[in-house]
Structure 1
Amino acid sequence: MLKRLSKATTSLILFVLPAFILYVIFLVIPVLQGSYYSFTNWDGLNKSYSFVGLQNFVEAIRDDANFRTALLFTAKYVLFAVVLQNALALLLALLIESQKRAKGFFRTVFFMPNMLSVIISTFMWVFVFTKVMPALSEYAALKFLGQSWLGDPNVSFWSIMLVSVWGGVGTLMIIYMSAIQGIPQHLKEAAIIDGAKPYHMLRYITLPLISHALTICIFLTLNSSFKVYDLIFALTGGGPARATQVITMNILEEAYQRNYRYGYASAKAIILFLIILVITLVQVSVMKKREVEA
């Protein structure tokens, strides 16, 4: 069969094949296996198990209060992460691109957090919240800095959000800057000659012409926010009292740390997958339609 193909097609297949094999082994097969086990009561250890149909899904949605709490917290985290990260990244991109000098310096400074691993950066922030803030509160007489940044349920969410935005805005900023640089200069000059204000420039020229970047950035933040684990695990471990437990932590706890209900945890993972799939499909289709209109 390879003899019948052109040399270019054969080379393409040979280059893509290793990556495709790895993709199937480490993603497609586990997804199919997880889907299969979600209809069973397998504990992940024994060979024997039985099919329970949709019982796992019904239990997760109707009877599992911890799962619903984790789902609600995840939705709250996703909403604020997507809005704050994209808004701040777009604002930084606009401000840096408006400067005539030191663009490279500011771009490097704001992108530097993305060069650190999530675990290292979150451990650094744990030190800041638990050691630096209380010290500043004591020496600077600023009492609000001495509160429990990670132990108070009312404050821990905003501490998590601060770290999330700090670590996630750099990549989005670069994408927005690239899109802004791609706007034709003659359109900006024509708008300025016509007396367009900065607000009108942003609304009628910049935002419509970078709508493809908005689609990409919102898609990336949606997916990463729904699947967040390491950041929150390193900061709070899901505490206090499950107040900051996201759905990924709840799934892992169900499968390996508490009840060893692998089939039940697989059902929760399938629910998360379906939620992400529906939301991202709606988001991409709506924003792609707006791109065409723009």
Structure 2
Amino acid sequence: MRSRGNRAAFSLILFVLPAFLLYLLFLVIPMFQGSYYSFTDWNGLNKTYDFVGFGNFVEALRDDRNFRSSIWFTAKFVVCAVVLQNVVALLLALLIESRKKAKGLFRTIFFMPNMLSVIISTFMWVFVFSKVIPALAENGALKFLNLSWLGDPSVSFWTILIVSVWGGVGTLLLIYMAAIQGIPQHLKEAAIIDGAQPHHMFRYITLPLIAHALTICIFLTLNSSFKVYDLVYALTNGGPGRGTQVITMNILEEAYQGNNRYGYASSKAIILFLIILVITMIQVTIMKKREVEA
């Protein structure tokens, strides 16, 4: 029996080992290397570099105006994207679950954007905002659409947000629908018999019993919104100027696009990592407590 158990354990290790080695090689080791380089002035090319301590971090937070503006823009985007994606996904889930037919069809329709490459789907949106909407704006009744959707930073922010909601709702929708389907039917029936109105049903039954789904969805949207890159790159490339530059774009610009300050870029990446770590830990801790209370 023991030898059979040992063979089973050995087989499991063999199955896990390739994935673990890839994870170690491409994620764990580069993370520790980047942490080390963040305290140096390495340019990413030379074999020699100097140790600068916390100088990179001080420069990034105190002297780098572009980095601070990218943090501010990313923070605005994260707040709006997390709220809108989760609100829209939850409302759609409630509407679809209230239907008796065609639930599978609606799930498929709203999940379809997730099946497309972000770059490809975003280039489609570039065509819509640069060609289709201006053509519609020529109609007198649609003059309000005559905006610089990709050229004005204040408008481009909402353009990026619209595309992020369109592409991010599908996965959240499935999670919320699964959570809603898991609510015991007898609780709903008892509430209806007691005369509960739809908003009472949502507040006192649905929302507390899908708290675990809320925790997961907010966690996912927080992480993806902080690390957004390809969507902004394809829509505006951080422009005009640096008006829509997110943190990830600022980091890559510092490391590769002419500056070649790999150590300095690594320190910015560490700052981003710490921001995400602290915020997600606070979010998960608070929402887990509410799950227990519910």
- Please tell me the TM-score bracket, short chain as reference: over 0.9
Q: Which amino acid aligns with 1:12?
A: L
- Residue aligning to 1:56: 56
- Residue aligning to 2:114: 114
Q: Which amino acid aligns with 1:265?
A: A
1:148 aligns with 2:148: yes
Report the alpha carbon displacement of residue 3 of structure 1 after superposing the two structures with TM. 6.3
Pairwise mapping of residues 245-260 of structure 1 onto structure 2 (< 5 A)?
245-260=245-260
- Residue aligning to 2:75: 75
Partner-residue secondary structure (3-state), 1:180: helix
Q: Deviations over 1:174-217 (max 9, x none)?
A: 00000000111111111111111111111111111111100000
- Residue aligning to 1:214: 214
1:240 aligns with 2:243: no
Which consecutive residues of structure 1, in runs of 5 or more, have no partner in the other structure?
none
- Residue aligning to 1:35: 35
- Mapped partners of 1:4, 1:68: distance in 2: 59
1:98 aligns with 2:129: no
Partner-residue secondary structure (3-state), 1:142: helix
Q: Deviations over 1:237-294 (max 9, x none)?
A: 0001111000000000000003110000000000000000011111111111111111
Partner-residue secondary structure (3-state), 2:284: helix
- Residue aligning to 1:131: 131
Identity %: 78
Which consecutive residues of structure 2, in runs of 5 or more, have no partner in the other structure?
none
- Mapped partners of 1:157, 1:47: distance in 2: 41
Q: Deviations over 1:120-141 (max 9, x none)?
A: 1100000000000111112455
- Residue aligning to 1:191: 191
- Residue aligning to 1:89: 89
Q: Which amino acid aligns with 2:21?
A: I
Report the alpha carbon displacement of residue 144 of structure 1 after superposing the two structures with TM. 2.2
Q: Which amino acid aligns with 1:75?
A: A
Report the alpha carbon displacement of residue 142 of structure 1 after superposing the two structures with TM. 2.3
Report the alpha carbon displacement of residue 76 of structure 1 after superposing the two structures with TM. 0.4
Report the alpha carbon displacement of residue 106 of structure 1 after superposing the two structures with TM. 1.2
- Residue aligning to 1:6: 6
- Residue aligning to 2:16: 16
- Mapped partners of 2:148, 2:254: distance in 1: 28
TM-score, normalising length: structure 2 = 0.97
Q: Deviations over 1:58-90 (max 9, x none)?
A: 000000000000000000000000000000000
Report the alpha carbon displacement of residue 147 of structure 1 after superposing the two structures with TM. 1.7
Q: Which amino acid aligns with 2:37?
A: Y
- Mapped partners of 1:269, 1:237: distance in 2: 19
- Mapped partners of 2:192, 2:38: distance in 1: 59
- Mapped partners of 2:196, 2:8: distance in 1: 51
1:181 aligns with 2:220: no
Q: Which amino acid aligns with 2:207?
A: L
Q: Deviations over 1:24-78 (max 9, x none)?
A: 0010000000000000000001111010000000000000000000000000000
- Mapped partners of 2:144, 2:193: distance in 1: 50
- Mapped partners of 1:190, 1:47: distance in 2: 71
* Segment drifting more, 137-146 vs 71-80: 137-146
Report the alpha carbon displacement of residue 104 of structure 1 after superposing the two structures with TM. 1.2
Partner-residue secondary structure (3-state), 1:94: helix
- Mapped partners of 1:267, 1:130: distance in 2: 37
- Mapped partners of 2:258, 2:198: distance in 1: 56
